Structure formats: structure tokens, C-alpha cells
Amino acid sequence: MTHNTMIDEWYPVGLFSKLDAAGRETALMGEPIDVARDAEGSAKVTGRNGRPLPVCVRYGHVWSSLGTPLKALFAIPEADQAGRRFVDVGVVRVRCSPLRAVENFLDIAHFPFVHTDILGAEPHTEVQNYKVEIREDEVWATQVKFYQPQAAKSASGGITTEYMYRVPAPTCAVLYKTCPPRPSEWDVITLFVQPLAEDLCDVWPWMALFDDETSMTDLIHFQQTIFLQDRSILENQIPRLLPLDPGMEIPTRADLTSVAYRRWLKRHNYTYGAQLVAQ
């Protein structure tokens, strides 16, 4: 199975703030790579046999590719907005498909069971209909609503949170959610996933928030809590690879975003971490 189309995408490979001259050894889709800072302080990424790889630094992270990205990394305009706090949450490794990691991030029906008393709670389990569409070749889910006991560090009690989800790249997802201190703005929470192998990934969450009260450490810990609660789910899904053909797994109306994501992956031949024939 060729995964050519995913070869030419951008992937996160490290935190820019943690980069040093000695560098860090990591990998992209099975190929060992090295991520370091050069003498001028810029990020430098090299692949097998020292071949230089494309680099960009954005959203607090270093990005690279094994191939030739045809366009610049996707834009998140909120990242340039004054007054926002930018949070590098830190990497977590998960033994799962990078595509499963993204799909879990897009899901809300699990909130009452996995993020109990934080993002959801019984009996508020119903998922109301929401809207899914493709905009400029990205998957978007809008008008998503869910009742949450403690939606964010900046929320002072239970609220019905509104969400939008966006998939701008095969292993990246962006969540826009109700911002309690500034109701006309969205808080932005992202999941940037680095595919190490088809069943192993490094997950780099990042955030751009309006919150002047909460300490940076508390913001980091809140997001790490949420992700760690998902990790033991991600490591126990069978099959490991994300099925892109119907048959193995049964979606409902609550899963519209995930259904759109799987179709979009298949359409683009983004199959690294996926399986195609129902087994």
C-alpha cells in the first residue's frame, strides 16, 4: 500500500522552545529523523543519511515532512490574535494509529464516560444533531452543543458549550469552543499528531486561549488530564488501524464528524494508519 499523499504533508516533530543544538532523535512514518537548532537559532531537520528535510516553525512547534509539501502549513488566524495565551501542552506518546488519535479528538459522545464530571456527565449524554461540511477541502463540524460540568479552567460551573471542529490535515485537528470570559470569541485547542509508525504516534496538543486568571501550569495540567483520560481508550481499540471501509464499525448520527473524516481520508488516499478492507 502506497501512502504517497501523506508523505508530502507537514507533521509536528518537536517543541520549538525545547530545541537545542544537540537535537532530538525522533521519527516520521518509520524513518528516523533528527530535529535540532542550528548556529543561527533556526530549526533544522534531517532524515536518513543526513538529507535535509523541509522545516517550518508555527504554533510553538517545529514541523517537517518526508516529502515535498505543496502548500504552507494550514492557517489558524486566532494564533495571531492579541491577548491570547499560547500553551505548549507537551508531548504524549500513544500506541495507536495517528488517525485514531485524531478521530477520538473529534468525538463528543464519550465525554460523560471518559471525561466524567469535567467535559460531560450522566444523564446529559444525548448528542444533538449538528452540521458537517467540507470547506476548502477541510472537514468542518459546526453547531455542536454539549452540556459540560466543567468545560474549561476559566468556567465557573456547568454550561452548555458550543463547539466547532476542523480537520485541516490528515493528522491534525482544531477545536473551537465557547470561551467563558469572552463569549464572542472562540478558545482554540489543537491536536497535532506526529505519526511515528502506523500504530504509534506522538501527540502534541496546543492551545490559544483567552484566560487571564489561570496559571500556565494549570492550563497545561487541565489539557493533559483530558488527553490522558483518552489514552487508555486509544490503546485498546481493535483493530489498531482505522477502518476506512464500512462494515467493521457502526456509526450513528452522533458520529457525523468521524464519518466525514474517514470519507475524507479515503478520498485523499490518506491511508497511513488506516486499513481498507473490512476484516
Partner 1 sequence: MLSDMTGSWTPVALSADLPAGTVMPARTPAGSIALWRSDSGRTAASADRCPHRGMRLSHGFVRGEALSCIYHGWSYARAGNCLRIPAHPGLTPPEAIRVATQQVEESDGLIWVAVGEPAAQPPRLEGLVPLRSLMAHASVAALETAAGAKADPEGIVWKVQASQTIRLLLAPQEDDHTLIHVLLSDNSSPAQRIAASRAAETLRRAAEALQTKRIAP
Partner 2 sequence: MKLYDYILSPSCYKVRLMAALTGVKLDIRPVDFHPGAEHRGPELLALNPAGSIPILEDADLILTESSAMLVYLAARAAPEWLGTGAAEGTARVQQWLSFANRLTASLGGARLHEMLLRPGDITALQALSIAALRELEAGLVEQGLRGMRFLVADRPTVADIACFPYVALAPDGGVSLDPYPAIRLWSRALRSLENFIEMPGIHRLHELKPEPHIEPGKV
Using CB under 8 A, list all residues that contact partner 2. 15, 18, 88-95, 113-114, 116-117, 122-126, 128, 147, 160, 202, 215-218, 220-221, 224-229, 231-232, 235
Q: How far is the CB of 38 from partner 1 (least distance, A)?
A: 43
Q: How far is the CB of 103 from partner 1 (least distance, A)?
A: 8
Position among 4, 215, 232, 279 found at the interface with partner 1 (CB under 8 A): 232
Closer CB to partner 2, 91 or 242, in the complex: 91
Residue 146, Cβ density class (10 Å: 0-12 exposed, 13-18 middle, ≥19 buried): buried
Instruction: Choose the contact partner of 248 out of partner 1, partner 2, none; CB within 5 to 8 A by kind.
Output: partner 1
- Return the C-alpha torsion angle 103, 209, 162, 262, nearest 10: -20
109 binds partner 1 (CB under 8 A): yes
Contact 15, 86 (CB under 8 A): no
Q: How far is the CB of 66 from partner 2 (least distance, A)?
A: 21
Binders in 73-92 for partner 1, by CB under 8 A: none
Rounded to 10°, the helix 256-267/98-105 angle is 150
Q: How far is the CB of 195 from partner 2 (least distance, A)?
A: 15
122 binds partner 1 (CB under 8 A): yes
Cβ within 8 Å of residue 236, ≥6 positions away? none
155 binds partner 1 (CB under 8 A): no
Instruction: Choose the contact partner of 85 out of partner 2, partner 1, none; CB within 5 to 8 A by kind.
Output: none
Is the N-terminal amide bond of 239 cis, ω within 30° of 0? yes
Of 149-157, 175-183, 242-250, 271-279, the segment contacting partner 1 by CB under 8 A is 242-250
CB atoms within 10 A of CB 21: 10
Closer CB to partner 1, 43 or 96, in the complex: 96
40 binds partner 1 (CB under 8 A): no
Three-class secondary structure of residue 101 per DSSP: helix
- Interface with partner 1 (CB under 8 A), residue total 24
Q: Which of 230, 204, 206 lies closest to 93, judged by CA?
A: 204
Report the C-alpha gap between 271 and 276 in whole angstroms.
8
112 binds partner 1 (CB under 8 A): yes
Closer CB to partner 2, 134 or 216, in the complex: 216
How far does the chain reach from its first CA to its final CA, in angstroms?
16
C-alpha cell at 80: 495571531
Instruction: Choose the contact partner of 5 out of partner 1, partner 2, none; CB within 5 to 8 A by kind.
Output: none
Q: Which residues pair with 250 in a beta bridge?
A: none
Three-class secondary structure of residue 9 per DSSP: coil
